[in-house]
Structure 1
Amino acid sequence: MNVDLTAGGSRGGTRLDPRAWTALILLCAANFMVILDSQAVILAAPTIAKSLKMTPSAAQWVISANLITFGGLLLLGGRAADLLGRRRLFLIGTALFLVVSLVSGLASNGEVLITARALHGVATAMMAPTALSILTTTFPEGRGRNKALAAWQGIAGLGATAALIIGGELVDHFGWRWIFLMNVPVAVAMLLAGPVLLTESRDLSVGRKYDVAGALTSTAALLLIVYAVTKAPDNGWTGSKTLGMFGGAAALFVLFAIIESRMESPLVPMRILRSGALVGGNLATVAIGMAVFGLSLCAAEYAQGGLSYTTLQYGVKGSPLPAMALISAFAGQRLIGRFGSRRVVAVCALLLIGGSLLLVQAVENGGSYGSIFAGLAVFGTGLGLGTTACSAAALSGIARRDAGLASGFNAAAFQIGGSFGIAAVTTVIVSHSVGASQQAAMTAGFKAGFVATAYFGAAALLLALIVIPGLRRSREAERAALAAQADQEVRDAGSVSVN
């Protein structure tokens, strides 16, 4: 039995409850705060390290601790939402987000801040996939959901823009602590509005049987692989520690697959992995995440290290990327309905490649702002199109009972891709920073970093063309999924009436 009290009714053409759009504002606000926080911390990391007298190796854990727990727990957070209640877990995650933001803002030393950032990853691993699963169960497939997803992805671009501008202003004029403390009133508002705007929904078809073994092995595997990627620039991609952690993660994934095949109520039902759209959409999301996080890191280091921009200057001048992502996310939702996710992702990938190569040219030409603006704007346009289309593909044809799990997959794919992108681009920049002078070495390193992000875009292009189903196949799969869902609901209703 699948209990869903959210607006939107069935996946057919039922009319949306007017509260759905109001609830969407709340869900987008949560996504905005998650993105704003993560981007602002990256921007403020050098200032935080100096203020708390942290060594460079310790300072990286302000970012890495959050990446590891967030990426490692997303899948579990998404499935827990299906079983325990989506609204309930969203509010619990928001409450924890409030507490750790306050602790981070008041941290007296690096150890306290790193611990708080790790707990912050736990909070956002509950908030992000749960909010996306509420969106998925609230808006039926089609134009309404595409619009909602465009708003979801577009607000992420707005959050990234705000992080660059507001974060830079806060750090330069009020201190780094305010990038955490500004979360507190927003989290309070979400906790007050959540019970009013959101109704509870969860999957009761499996009762209260929990796949503890599956949860432990999948979470441990994800944590290990994100940790391995985070430490790869220090340990070496082919070093024994890195290879050992990757091997351990692979062994845990094999064990997880064995456990899932034998469980009556598995954490990840194998049926969900038969969806070509889900698999293809998430693989492309990994590649796009690598490109986005990798280019963001390279651009920030180039602007502040190579061009000597202040934090605020980079925040303002770097805003074309997230601003164009915001605009193109809304344009993308119309293109998805007309051309299908595969073609839109392919166009996105070409724009990511083009934007990266324009930035390579900008570095070669000494970093004129016009050339940087062009590269960031083209790349941002691809980002908005791609993330919306990948999410639409990955969440299409998914039964309501699996909405949280599918959302967890999608959020985890982007996060893990981002971890790979940051680690890979860091390695590339360092290994290619050679030359007769410091300036020549920096130029070579940053050029190589932007070339790497172009390769990530090429990987997204290949995945889009090979793995994501075309428009006709996607519609056929969606119709089949809807029919199966309707049959399941009829069987569940019959089971309830018999009992």
Structure 2
Amino acid sequence: MSMPMSTQPPAIARPAPSAATSSTTSSKAAILTLACVAQFMVILDVSIVNVALPAMRHGLGLSAAGQQWIVTAYTLGFAGLLLLGGRVADLVGVRRAFLAGLAGFTLASLAGGLATSGAVLIAARAGQGVCAAFLAPATLTLITTTFTEPTARTRAVGAWSTVTTTGGAAGAVLGGVLTQYLGWRWVLFVNVPAGAAVLAVAGGRIPAADGRAADALRRLDLPGAAAVFAALTALVYGVVNTETHGLADPRVAVPLAAAVLLLAGFVAIEFTAAQPLVPLAMLRRRTLAGGNLIMIFIGGALFPMWFLLSLYLQQVLHLHAVRTGWCLLPGALSIIVGARISVRLLGTLGPRRLLVIGMALSTAGFAWLSRVGVDGDYHTDVLAPFLLTALGLGLAITPTTVTATQGIDRAHSGLAAGLVNTSRQVGGALGLAALATLAAHTTAAAHAVAVPTTAARLQTHSVAAALADGYAHALLGAAVVTATAAVASLLLPGRPAASRRSDHRAVRGR
């Protein structure tokens, strides 16, 4: 007897998710997390010591100049070696650069926390900066070489950009809490368990290098690296000194003149080098050159924003360090919101339009903030324009980073990452020095005396008013920086027509 035939259609077997695909997705997520945590540590240490400086000075018997060098030593090592760090990642492999940079950064943090003298602390901070210069480009290179699909890369770079831009505010909050409740040494010790944890996981997650590092040292353009390191160090040193000395002062004029000569020498070296540190042909790429130019302006506004508002809240509104940190936190959250929005809008609007919108919002926010005064209030005079400014910066930094690194071949991805980080750091140093100098000179003119430096003098209403006037002018200067960035954004290419057609077909196919 025949079996009855089924009237049901045969079931269509749906392929189960591939274990390899699931594993790859998990591995990429882990790599993104590792890169973001490491980058967060690097940026955090730019600002986390600021609130702890008075305690460090008191604990180690530092002078005012020594106190300043706690910050400057990190900045000089970081900014001066970023290009070399990016190139090393290309030559020896991103895994080696990441692990070596992170291990050195963690050990330098431990040495700084254990420091028994100002000299040891400053040396440890310089060591942190040097190791950060190799670690930071490796984090971005790790992302751009792991996420090759455009949409996934945009999202990953958006996450990296978010931690980069919020590190400054997080440093202010965490630095205040750690200093007040655990002591200043913990602003350095905090990196030790975090670094050890990332090292423990990264060794098994980041793919091994491909063995191209055998002759890396021979191929590295050491004369070019030395020239650009000396040039950027002289430049940062000179602009840092403008805060307390005029442009004609030898402590400013000599380093700046040396920086110009050294940069000219660097260009000459690159023209003749067999394996140049920065192939000059790369700089002819419109996206790379334009993206880095805009990143200089973004850094020139972002770094001073945290600095100026922190001082205004503490010196004019007389908020203590911990409360100041919490008052800066909404700005960090606004940057996160802006970064998330930018990831969603980048494919629709393209980088040029998104950058113009972001810089326009920041310009409006800075102009609004420039109305702060001696009798101001955080909730009524600072919070709303601060959120607007931070939102605009959050919208801008992701498309800038994507633009500056797109289309770069794998062999130069580390260099492109180093250029992006260098542009942000140098822009931040230049912007901070210029706007801090503007604030200082405006304050001096308003009060008709030198800028006050002691807590007792800061208590008078007239001095507080002069300080508020100085910070207001500097914030207006920041608005000029972001407005210039909006104009510079027009130099970028528009969104390719092919990309628009592709997106349109994708939307119709849903």
Map of 1:298-317 to 2, 5 A cutoff? 298-317=308-327
Using the TM superposition, give the Cα deviation of residue 240 of structure 1 relative to its aligned residue in structure 2, in angstroms. Answer: 4.0
CA contact (8 A) 2:169 2:329 kept: yes
Map of 1:36-51 to 2, 5 A cutoff? 36-51=44-59
Distance, in Å, in 2 between the alignment partners of 1:448 and 1:96 is: 40
Code of the residue aligned with 2:441 in structure 1: it is S
CA contact (8 A) 2:374 2:465 kept: no
CA contact (8 A) 1:281 1:393 kept: yes
Distance, in Å, in 1 between the alignment partners of 2:326 and 2:438 is: 27
Distance, in Å, in 2 between the alignment partners of 1:262 and 1:66 is: 32
Distance, in Å, in 2 between the alignment partners of 1:244 and 1:167 is: 35
Which of residues 383, 399, 408 in structure 2 aligns to 1:389? 399
Distance, in Å, in 1 between the alignment partners of 2:390 and 2:192 is: 29
Distance, in Å, in 2 between the alignment partners of 1:202 and 1:372 is: 52
Partner of 1:468: 492
Map of 1:31-430 to 2, 5 A cutoff? 31-201=39-209, 204=212, 208=216, 209-363=219-373, 366-430=376-440
Distance, in Å, in 2 between the alignment partners of 1:261 and 1:206 is: 25
List runs of 5+ in structure 1 lacking aligned partners.
1-14, 477-499
TM-score where L is the length of structure 1: 0.88
Q: Which runs of 4+ in 1 moved over 6 A?
A: 473-476
CA pair 470-111 structure 1, distance change in 2 beyond 3 A: same
- 1:435 has 2:446 as partner: yes
SS in 1 for 2:363: helix
Distance, in Å, in 2 between the alignment partners of 1:253 and 1:286 is: 17
Using the TM superposition, give the Cα deviation of residue 141 of structure 1 relative to its aligned residue in structure 2, in angstroms. Answer: 4.8
Distance, in Å, in 1 between the alignment partners of 2:499 and 2:418 is: 23
CA contact (8 A) 1:82 1:203 kept: no
Using the TM superposition, give the Cα deviation of residue 203 of structure 1 relative to its aligned residue in structure 2, in angstroms. Answer: 9.1
CA pair 271-317 structure 1, distance change in 2 beyond 3 A: same
CA pair 394-16 structure 1, distance change in 2 beyond 3 A: farther
Partner of 1:458: 483
Which of residues 29, 44, 47 in structure 1 aligns to 2:37? 29
Distance, in Å, in 2 between the alignment partners of 1:112 and 1:473 is: 57
- Greater Cα offset, 50-59 or 406-415: 50-59
- Greater Cα offset, 18-27 or 162-171: 162-171
Using the TM superposition, give the Cα deviation of residue 475 of structure 1 relative to its aligned residue in structure 2, in angstroms. Answer: 6.3
SS in 1 for 2:52: helix
CA contact (8 A) 1:290 1:421 kept: yes
Distance, in Å, in 1 between the alignment partners of 2:220 and 2:293 is: 27
CA pair 277-118 structure 1, distance change in 2 beyond 3 A: same
CA pair 288-176 structure 1, distance change in 2 beyond 3 A: same
Cα distance per residue 1:247-301 (max 9 Å; x no partner): 2222222222222222222111122112111111111111110111112111111
Using the TM superposition, give the Cα deviation of residue 474 of structure 1 relative to its aligned residue in structure 2, in angstroms. Answer: 10
Code of the residue aligned with 2:384 in structure 1: it is A
Distance, in Å, in 2 between the alignment partners of 1:230 and 1:439 is: 24
CA contact (8 A) 2:105 2:132 kept: yes
Code of the residue aligned with 2:269 in structure 1: it is I
CA contact (8 A) 1:364 1:447 kept: no
CA pair 77-113 structure 1, distance change in 2 beyond 3 A: same
Cα distance per residue 1:136-181 (max 9 Å; x no partner): 1111151111000111112234434432333221111111111111
CA contact (8 A) 1:83 1:203 kept: no
SS in 1 for 2:148: coil
- 1:446 has 2:446 as partner: no
SS in 1 for 2:471: helix
Code of the residue aligned with 1:34 in structure 2: it is V
Code of the residue aligned with 2:397 in structure 1: it is T
Q: Cα RMSD between the aligned structures?
A: 2.1
Q: Does 1 or 2 have the higher relative contact order (CA < 8 Å, sep 6+)?
A: 1
Code of the residue aligned with 1:45 in structure 2: it is L
SS in 2 for 1:234: coil
CA pair 279-174 structure 1, distance change in 2 beyond 3 A: same
Distance, in Å, in 2 between the alignment partners of 1:48 and 1:473 is: 56
Identity %: 34
CA pair 399-122 structure 1, distance change in 2 beyond 3 A: same
CA pair 256-104 structure 1, distance change in 2 beyond 3 A: same
SS in 1 for 2:426: helix
Using the TM superposition, give the Cα deviation of residue 210 of structure 1 relative to its aligned residue in structure 2, in angstroms. Answer: 2.3
Distance, in Å, in 2 between the alignment partners of 1:206 and 1:459 is: 45
CA contact (8 A) 1:86 1:202 kept: no
Count residues in correspondence. 461
Distance, in Å, in 2 between the alignment partners of 1:48 and 1:347 is: 41
Distance, in Å, in 2 between the alignment partners of 1:106 and 1:260 is: 41
Distance, in Å, in 1 between the alignment partners of 2:375 and 2:314 is: 17
CA pair 22-438 structure 1, distance change in 2 beyond 3 A: same
Distance, in Å, in 2 between the alignment partners of 1:332 and 1:271 is: 30
Using the TM superposition, give the Cα deviation of residue 370 of structure 1 relative to its aligned residue in structure 2, in angstroms. Answer: 2.7
Distance, in Å, in 2 between the alignment partners of 1:415 and 1:193 is: 28
TM-score where L is the length of structure 2: 0.86
Distance, in Å, in 2 between the alignment partners of 1:435 and 1:241 is: 26
CA contact (8 A) 2:50 2:175 kept: no
Using the TM superposition, give the Cα deviation of residue 472 of structure 1 relative to its aligned residue in structure 2, in angstroms. Answer: 2.1
List runs of 5+ in structure 2 lacking aligned partners.
1-22, 448-461, 501-510
Using the TM superposition, give the Cα deviation of residue 201 of structure 1 relative to its aligned residue in structure 2, in angstroms. Answer: 4.3
**Highest Rg: 1 or 2?**
2
Code of the residue aligned with 2:421 in structure 1: it is A
Code of the residue aligned with 1:450 in structure 2: it is L
SS in 1 for 2:51: helix
CA pair 446-168 structure 1, distance change in 2 beyond 3 A: same
